[in-house]
A = this chain, B = another copy of it.
């Protein structure tokens, strides 16, 4: 067996361990009784430890040194193996353990601090997390030949860096300054058209959600839909587990949630099966993943054509007068608000932009942790013209930094922008796309995405993927055009 074949076999095994962890993670969120939590923690720790051990094994270092794969997917696969091994071994073990400990301690303090809106209670712990994250980022950056922040960012999404992201975000900032007041003014002139009050029975929502997900292309012979406190898409390519939560007063939230996760699920289901469990056969990154959930939820499902299909269907399912106008009122409104996860698609990037800039400044040391609340509030005011009344609705709202995740935030908005760009290209390629959407049929769109995105696995980075699929690297003009068409007319 060649060194490269041996590596493929090791990565296959690592992927199986990670799949087992993914399944147990799903179970913990969707099925597990409370009493199982401690044992589950142990099981996941052992699996993660073994996966990491495989990745760091001395044989692997030696095989990576000897292996060759001159071109194509094999060459890319080998490069991704080298990167994974490097990331797993670059940091001293003491540092990794200190990072894990600091992240856990900080996250625990953060939960209480958010409840009390008491930033001071978590300030020192966060400073320690930032310090240790910086220490690791410097080492990784040197090994990869990039800046510390880019070293972190690239573990979530390869093929686009912070400088490129900043240029794109800055342009969006200018767009938003002009667009948001206009959208609000137009909205204020429009007649109100609320949806009828609930209850919308959970069981009916679930049936409708399954029907729409299946119409979007989700294969339920290889997927489940369940309930969890925090909706997500887990599992593996041939056994996808998506979750949602139901609110009987508002059917739209669960439905949009399911369709969002369906976008993630379609990506996983359509990954190149021939490369399953190899690094190159996996998804291309978190921004690309987010583009796939958002192209379904925001681009396809919230389109005029699809909502016109959905309104009578939902009306019949719930036995209520659900109008297209009512759906649009519920699903297509802009609003300046404090909480990122509740934001509409136009203001959402402002939340991301703020976090992206602040986390870069935290990492570089330009922004001391003690100054974070002030910088946050100034930033929100500058971007959205509102000031958070407390830190719980300000810099304490997201878990990310407190558990040590820095570099993830830009993925959300890069994904939203990529979704708009991909949708524009799909529209070009599929002249009757709106006709299909008007029948609740996402198959043509999904086929196009399977060819241009899903089926490519991790063979290309963010901008390369977009360039091949749409003819150009990320261009925020598509997202602006999408928002203008939807909110400024």
Interchain CB contact under 8 A, A238 and B38: yes
From A120-128, A218-226, A278-286, A394-402, give the one contacting chain B.
A218-226
Among residues of B, the one whose C-beta sits closest to the C-beta of A34 is B221
Whether, in the assembled complex, A237 has its beta carbon less than 8 Å from a beta carbon of chain B, the answer is yes
Residues of chain B within 8 A of A27, CB atoms compared: 23, 27
Instruction: Report the copy number of this chain in the oligomer.
Output: 2
CA distance A17 to B238 in the complex (A): 22
Assuming the contacts A36-B239, A39-B237, A222-B36, asked whether A46 and B17 have C-beta atoms less than 8 A apart, the reply is: yes
Binary interface encoding of chain A residues 305-329 relative to chain B, with 1 for a CB under 8 A from any of its CBs, else 0: 0000000000000000000000000
Q: Is A481 an interface residue (CB 8 A)?
A: no
User: Which residues of B lie under 8 Å from residue A42 when comparing CB positions?
Assistant: 16, 19, 277
Q: Say if the beta carbon of A52 comes within 8 Å of chain B.
A: no
Chain A window 412-448, contacts with chain B (Cβ cutoff 8 Å), 1 for yes, 0 for no: 0000000000000000000000000000000000000
Minimum distance in angstroms from A137 CB to a CB of chain B: 31
Asked if A236 is at the interface (CB within 8 A of a chain B CB), the reply is yes
Taken together as a complex, chains A and B put the C-alpha atoms of A95 and B230 apart, in Å, by 48
Given A40-B239, A50-B50, A239-B40, is A24 in contact with B35 using a C-beta cutoff of 8 Å?
A: no
A43 neighbours in B (Cβ, 8 Å): 16, 19-20, 23
Contact residues in B for A70 (Cβ distance below 8 Å): none
Bound form: Cα–Cα A220–B223 in Å: 27
Min Cβ gap A278→B in Å is 13
Closest Cβ of chain B to A303, distance in Å, is: 29
Known: A39-B236, A43-B23, A238-B39. A224 touches B31 (CB 8 A): yes
Asked if A13 is at the interface of the complex by the 8 Å CB criterion, the answer is yes
Q: How far is the CA of A246 from the CA of B238 in the complex (A)?
A: 28
Interface: A32 (CB within 8 A) = yes
Within 8 A of B (CB), among A20-79: 20, 23-24, 27, 31-36, 38-40, 42-43, 45-47, 50
Contact B19 A239 (CB under 8 A): no
Give bound CA distance, A17 to B43, whole Å. Answer: 7
* B35 engages A219 (CB within 8 Å): yes
| Residue from B23, B33, B238, B277 in contact with A35 in the complex, judged by beta carbons closer than 8 Å | B238
Task: Give every chain B residue within 8 A of A237 (Cβ-Cβ).
Answer: 39
Chain A, interface size category, equals 35 or more
A277, B46: Cα distance in complex, Å: 13
The B-contacting residues of A in range 224-265, CB under 8 angstroms, are 224, 235-239
**Which B residues lie within 8 Å of A31 (CB)?**
31, 224
Contact A239/B33 with A19-B39, A20-B43, A24-B20 known, Cβ cut-off 8 Å: yes
Do A34 and B222 contact each other (CB < 8 Å), given the known contacts A13-B46, A47-B20, A238-B39? yes
Produce 1/0 per residue, A2-24, CB < 8 A to B: 00000000000100110110011
Tell me if A35 and B224 are in contact (CB < 8 A): no
Q: Which residue from chain B places its CB closest to the CB of A30 in the assembled complex?
A: B31
Most buried by B among A46, A219, A221: A46
Contacts of A223 in B (CB 8 A): 33, 35
Q: Of all chain B residues, which has the CB nearest A14?
A: B46
Q: How far is the CA of A102 from the CA of B418 in the complex (A)?
A: 53
Q: Within the assembled complex, what's the spacing in Å between the Cα atoms of A19 and B43?
A: 7
**Can you list, as one digit per residue, whether each of A328-366 has a CB less than 8 Å from chain B (1) or not (0)?**
000000000000000000000000000000000000000
Contact assessment for A20 and B19 in the assembled complex, using a CB-CB cutoff below 8 Å: no
Inter-chain contacts of A277 with B (CB < 8 A) = 42
Closest B residue by C-beta to A47: B20
Q: Are A222 and B23 in contact (CB under 8 A)?
A: no
Residues of B within 8 A of A46 (CB): 13, 16-17, 20
- Across the interface, name the chain B residue whose C-beta is closest to A239: B36
* Cα separation A32 to B221 with both chains bound (whole Å): 9
The smallest C-beta distance from A43 to any residue of chain B, in angstroms, reads 5
CA distance A47 to B46 in the complex (A): 11
Known: A38-B238, A40-B239. A222 touches B33 (CB 8 A): yes
Listed by A's residue number, 11 A-B pairs whose Cβ atoms lie within 8 Å are: A16-B47, A19-B43, A20-B46, A27-B27, A31-B31, A31-B224, A33-B221, A33-B239, A34-B221, A35-B219, A50-B50
Which 4 A-B residue pairings sit nearest by Cβ, starting from the closest? Answer: A36-B239, A35-B222, A16-B46, A35-B238
Given contacts A19-B42, A39-B237, 12 further A-B contacts (CB under 8 A): A16-B47, A19-B39, A19-B43, A20-B20, A20-B46, A23-B23, A24-B24, A32-B239, A34-B222, A36-B235, A40-B239, A42-B277
